[in-house]
Amino acid sequence: MKKFSKAVIPAAMALTMTLSTTALAGPQSNPNGPYIEGEQNISLSSYMSNEELTKTLQKLETSSKGKMKLEVVGYSNHTLDGYKTEADKGDPLYVVKFGDADPNKKRILITTQIHGNEQIGTEAAIDIIQKLSSGGQEIDEILDKVSIWIMPRINPEGSDNTFEGKWYPTRYTHQTWLPENIALPASTVAPWYYNADGSERGQANEGRVVYGIPGYDQNRDYNPNLDFRVEKEDKNKVSAFLNSKATNNSNYGGFYVTAEARTVTKVFQEFKPDVFVDVHHRGFNTLSDEDNRSVPVQVAAVVADPYTDPFSGKQYEVDEEVLKLGKQVNALANLALQRGNSHYGAVQKYPDVNLPGTALGAFALNDAAIMLIEIKGQSQTLGQKQAGMLKETVKVPLFEVFKGLADGSIHDVDTAIYDAIPESTNRIEDPSTRD
């Protein structure tokens, strides 16, 4: 296995490093703070394993009486665009369909758990699927006008990762960089978002657990050129691109080396959604110096600047109308969370980033209005604490968006509401060295 021999920034830290302008609220100083301490046990028992997810989805399809279609659209296979044996197929990637890719309907695509250690999005997706498949007047009115496709847990291997015999979900996929397999010279350096040693932050072991299975940050493997495939490009050009630190970095789109990113992109291209929502988890913040409510979610309608594909020269830009709809979707989500007087409403905007290799970035540059939902905490830092409440912070806004798309009222939402969402600030530092 290849070791880190270069100055590679672990992908998990790359985003953190863009937050240098963000004020810090100081590290957690008591054991009841948001971060789980070394001696506290992390319980994940309420979350679904891959097997349980499959069973649940199959059951829901049966009980939906035809409303919902469950399809396997690909596998987390280790070999690119094809597998030689059944075992090589890996885990299934599902799409749950309510309605067709009908151009006369509004279309929304939702993905969860692109990072395997971010479970609550998937748990929320299951609740949403259950509600949609159970029907009723409100649901019928939505599905009459809106097609909803949901891909729960698009990183099944990271999700079901184990370490020392225990379930240990990780951010990364499972796959080894083998440049020869895609006709690149053997000396070609891996994409910068490759996690060569198979490591993840942990609550023990000085903040780092080496589970030993290499993989990728799938959410850097997308490319605004949705048809980019290493196999179709000039191999010397790709190799030179990867071998230079000036180009092998987060300013550029990814390389579509994961089966997972390829599969999700295939679904995106078939469905052509008006709106694309990707559900993540992140760290901890309080709302402001004056308001110390813990921030349950951050949202964003923009994650990528205009982009020029270095291979084809083609230019990509977020369309003005698309950006407007994205802001309206995020604004409506924010309004939905403001109702009542709880810390649901302590919403912040995700920090300003330019990440053309993320699913959201690449799809926004291909005419989808986007919403990033970032729930607080991850498997290793929050366990399943507050999971019930945090699930609601995904479900409540999404149902408002479904309704707004169905009756068209989303187009009346003032984008200034989005602009006024408080910026990310008062980040609470991780008490261990893992941050």
Cα separation, 17 vs 22, whole angstroms: 10
State the burial class of residue 222 (Cβ atoms within 10 Å of its Cβ: 0-12, 13-18, 19+).
buried
Segment near Zn ion (CB under 5 A), from 38-46, 110-118, 293-301, 343-351? 110-118
Task: Tell me whether residue 98 or residue 172 sits nearer to Zn ion (CB atom).
Answer: 172
Task: Tell me whether residue 169 or residue 202 sits nearer to Zn ion (CB atom).
Answer: 169
**Long-range CB contacts (within 8 A, 24+) of 392-395:** 392/344, 393/296, 393/297, 393/337, 393/344, 394/120, 394/121, 394/124, 394/125, 394/279, 394/297, 395/124, 395/127, 395/128, 395/131
Q: Is 153 in the site for Zn ion (CB under 5 A)?
A: no
Shortest distance, position 206 Cβ to Zn ion, whole Å? 23
Segment near Zn ion (CB under 5 A), from 26-34, 116-124, 184-192, 255-263? 116-124
Segment near Zn ion (CB under 5 A), from 59-67, 75-83, 109-117, 288-296? 109-117
Cα separation, 70 vs 95, whole angstroms: 6
- The token duo for 51 is 């097997």
Pairing of strands 427-429, 284-285: antiparallel
Task: Tell me whether residue 106 or residue 280 sits nearer to Zn ion (CB atom).
Answer: 280
Going by C-alpha positions, the residue among 152, 104, 153, 163 that lies closest to residue 129 is: 152
Shortest distance, position 3 Cβ to Zn ion, whole Å? 25
Q: Which of residues 301-340 bind Zn ion (CB under 5 A)?
A: none
Number of residues forming the site for Zn ion (CB under 5 A): 3
Task: Tell me whether residue 263 or residue 358 sits nearer to Zn ion (CB atom).
Answer: 358
Q: Give the amino acid at 10.
A: P
Task: Tell me whether residue 99 or residue 383 sits nearer to Zn ion (CB atom).
Answer: 383
Return the residue of 107, 280, 427, 434 that touches Zn ion, per CB under 5 A.
280
Q: Is 220 in the site for Zn ion (CB under 5 A)?
A: no
Burial 270-306 (b: 16+ CB within 10 A, else e): ebebbbbbbbbbbbbbbbbeeeeebbbbbbbbbbbbe
Shortest distance, position 172 Cβ to Zn ion, whole Å? 11
Q: Is 115 in the site for Zn ion (CB under 5 A)?
A: yes
Shortest distance, position 194 Cβ to Zn ion, whole Å? 17
Task: Tell me whether residue 60 or residue 382 sits nearer to Zn ion (CB atom).
Answer: 382
Point out the residue whose Cβ comes nearest to Zn ion.
280
Segment near Zn ion (CB under 5 A), from 46-54, 141-149, 272-280, 314-322? 272-280
Task: Tell me whether residue 248 or residue 358 sits nearer to Zn ion (CB atom).
Answer: 358
Task: Tell me whether residue 263 or residue 378 sits nearer to Zn ion (CB atom).
Answer: 378
Q: How many CA atoms lie within 13 A of 426 on its CB side?
A: 18
Shortest distance, position 240 Cβ to Zn ion, whole Å? 30
Burial 371-397 (b: 16+ CB within 10 A, else e): bbbbbbbbbbbbbbbbbeebbbbbbbb
- DSSP structure class, residue 189: P
Cα separation, 194 vs 171, whole angstroms: 11
Segment near Zn ion (CB under 5 A), from 105-113, 118-126, 354-362, 408-416? 118-126
CA angle 325, 327, 332 (to 5 degrees): 95
How many CB atoms sit inside 10 A of residue 18's CB?
14
Task: Tell me whether residue 106 or residue 220 sits nearer to Zn ion (CB atom).
Answer: 220
Q: Is 201 in the site for Zn ion (CB under 5 A)?
A: no
Task: Tell me whether residue 378 or residue 426 sits nearer to Zn ion (CB atom).
Answer: 378
Shortest distance, position 21 Cβ to Zn ion, whole Å? 21
Please give the residue ranges that form the binding site for Zn ion (CB under 5 A). 115, 118, 280
